[in-house]
Chains A and B, each alone.
Chain A
Amino acid sequence: GAGVSQSPRYKVAKRGQDVALRCDPISGHVSLFWYQQALGQGPEFLTYFQNEAQLDKSGLPSDRFFAERPEGSVSTLKIQRTQQEDSAVYLCASSPVEPPDTQYFGPGTRLTVL
């Protein structure tokens, strides 16, 4: 079956531009997570959805970051007024159960802010 997919795979933005990153979880998976992975580092948690409800957004680094999952399937991570420090790989993961145990990751979106 299809895994988690993310688009675009690569995104280059000029500083100050807004970007939107998409995640398609595995069909039927209840939980969805976003992580940020800086170069040479482990992933760091950003936010977590159970169906359409955003249960934890404690990892979002600033109010420029916003995530949504309006119908409980596809999710979008939006970053407004991008800064150079936003350059990273953004990973999406989904889990079939609630509370989630095993998370299955997508290939990530590499964002480069110039």
Chain B
Amino acid sequence: AQSVTQLDSQVPVFEEAPVELRCNYSSSVSVYLFWYVQYPNQGLQLLLKYLSGSTLVKGINGFEAEFNKSQTSFHLRKPSVHISDTAEYFCAVSGVWGGKLIFGQGTELSVKP
């Protein structure tokens, strides 16, 4: 079984500042890792994913994340945020055999002018 912990429920940050949203996971098997973003009253949009290969993955809207197997982490980063990045961000994991996603509780990113 897998589990995901998002260490911060809310992250306030000023526009153009860097941000890191933290995600740790637990699993007894190899995993796929994902970050999704959810804007109000919308579904989940895929930001980026780690399936295999390079541990540094780049996604849409300038976001990137690094898979750290020894620390079982998959933190999301952006060097300079915009007001439009204000949203809920979810980290998720699945086993490499596929199947259901296990989500964290979400981190609310609030970008202030």
List residues of chain A with CB under 8 Å of any chain B CB: 4, 6, 31, 33, 35, 40-45, 48, 56, 59, 91, 93, 95, 98-108, 110
Q: Is the CB of A108 within 8 A of B51?
A: no
Q: Is the CB of B43 within 8 A of A105?
A: yes
- Return the contact of A43 from the options B51, B90, B94, B98 (Cβ within 8 A): B90
Whether A42 touches B105, Cβ cut-off 8 Å, given contacts A56-B99, A99-B97, A107-B42, is yes
Task: Name the residue of chain B whose CB is nearest to the CB of A91.
Answer: B43
Q: Which residues of B contact A42 (CB under 8 A)?
A: 4, 90, 92, 103-106
Q: Which residues of A contact B68 (CB under 8 A)?
A: none
Q: Number of residues in B with C-beta < 8 Å to the partner?
A: 25
B43: min CB distance to chain A, Å: 4
Q: Is the CB of B100 within 8 A of A104?
A: no
Task: Name the residue of chain A whose CB is nearest to the CB of B102.
Answer: A45
Among A42, A45, A48, A91: residue with most chain B CB under 10 A: A42
Interface residues of B in 41-78 (CB under 8 A from A): 41-46, 49, 51
Q: Is the CB of A43 within 8 A of B99?
A: no
Q: Is the CB of B105 within 8 A of A105?
A: no
- Return the contact of B103 from the options A6, A40, A44 (Cβ within 8 A): A44
Cβ-based interface call for B34 (8 A): yes
Q: Is the CB of B46 within 8 A of A104?
A: yes
**Can you give 28 A-B contacts (C-beta < 8 A)?**
A4-B43, A33-B100, A35-B101, A40-B106, A42-B90, A42-B103, A42-B104, A43-B44, A43-B90, A43-B101, A45-B100, A45-B101, A56-B99, A59-B100, A91-B43, A91-B44, A93-B44, A95-B98, A98-B98, A100-B94, A101-B32, A101-B49, A102-B34, A102-B46, A104-B46, A106-B43, A107-B42, A108-B43
Q: How far is the CA of A93 from the CA of B4 in the complex (A)?
A: 19
Q: Which residues of A contact B102 (CB under 8 A)?
A: 45
Task: Name the residue of chain B whose CB is nearest to the CB of A45.
Answer: B100
Q: Is the CB of B44 within 8 A of A100?
A: no
